[in-house]
Amino acid sequence: MVTLPSSPDLRRLRWVLAACLMLTHSAVPDLARDNAVLAKSEADYVLADYWGRGCVAENGFVFAVGARYYPSSTACPCTCTEEGPVCTKPDCPRIHPRCIRVTYQGCCPRCQKIRKMCEYGGRMFKPFQEFLLSPCERCRCEANRAVYCLTTECARVLCVNPSYESKLCCPICKQGPNCFAGNIIIPAGVKVEMNATTLCYCPYKDGSWEPQQQATCIARGRRNVHHDIRKDSHVDLWREWEEVP
């Protein structure tokens, strides 16, 4: 024998069954909707209002196809096409080589501040200031902030054994003018007896020593006299000597 529930219990049971049926029917559409979302591609999320009709800038403004615009304040200009923006960089003016502050406006850089001093070798120099790179190189900072340098030209030395000093540009003859007589260095200005039959001297012409390395040698004559060439400027003094070939 089956005992049926009382009326209050029966009503409560019916309410529970109805609630379960409602939850079951509402869950099916949610599951189907979730599956549909997962099945969508990236193209399904493109805004249909703008695709193929315009381009959106960073500020949210929409430009029509064919319009020329700047996506941002520092971007290069773009042209809106049906497939999206096409941007090209224009020919920007050249920035000054001494520019120390650059800003970007409308794609191209602009110089805001130019250096007022010369920079050379990592050092700064004021306009018209001169400085040495080496004993032979003198430079100057000009008004246009460019550095110009000059190299000293050294005269030909009058000796065969010049000395080079670290603080001097050009070589010097510490022992004065001289030349070679064979393998021996002889001073300029005097005749030097090389042996019993030969005298040698450094070339001398037009009041100055000729920068020649080899001495002129002559055979001994009747007299054995050492002339000081720096004092004797007349050719007659050399008539007693015969030049050795």
**Which comes out higher in pLDDT, residue 95 or 230?**
95
The per-residue pLDDT for 221 is: 65
The per-residue pLDDT for 53 is: 75
Does the pLDDT at position 42 exceed 80?
no
Please say whether the beta carbons of 74 and 104 come within 8 A: yes
Which of 3-7, 32-36, 182-186, 203-207 tops mean pLDDT?
Answer: 182-186
Does the pLDDT at position 124 exceed 50?
yes
**Which comes out higher in pLDDT, residue 143 or 229?**
143
Mean pLDDT of the chain: 73
**Which comes out higher in pLDDT, residue 58 or 209?**
58
The reply to whether the predicted model has a pTM over 0.85 is no
Mean pLDDT of 94-105: 76
Cβ atoms within 10 A of the Cβ of 54, count?
A: 17
The per-residue pLDDT for 34 is: 42
Q: What is the DSSP string of 70-122?
A: -SSTTSPPEEEETTEEEE----PPPPPTTEEEEEEETTEEEEEEE-SSEEETT
Ordered structural domains, the chain, with CATH:
50-87 (no CATH), 118-151 (2.10.70), 178-243 (no CATH)
**Which comes out higher in pLDDT, residue 205 or 57?**
57
The per-residue pLDDT for 190 is: 84
Task: Please name every residue paired with 85 in a beta bridge, in sequence order, or none if there are none.
Answer: 80
The per-residue pLDDT for 19 is: 52
The per-residue pLDDT for 170 is: 93
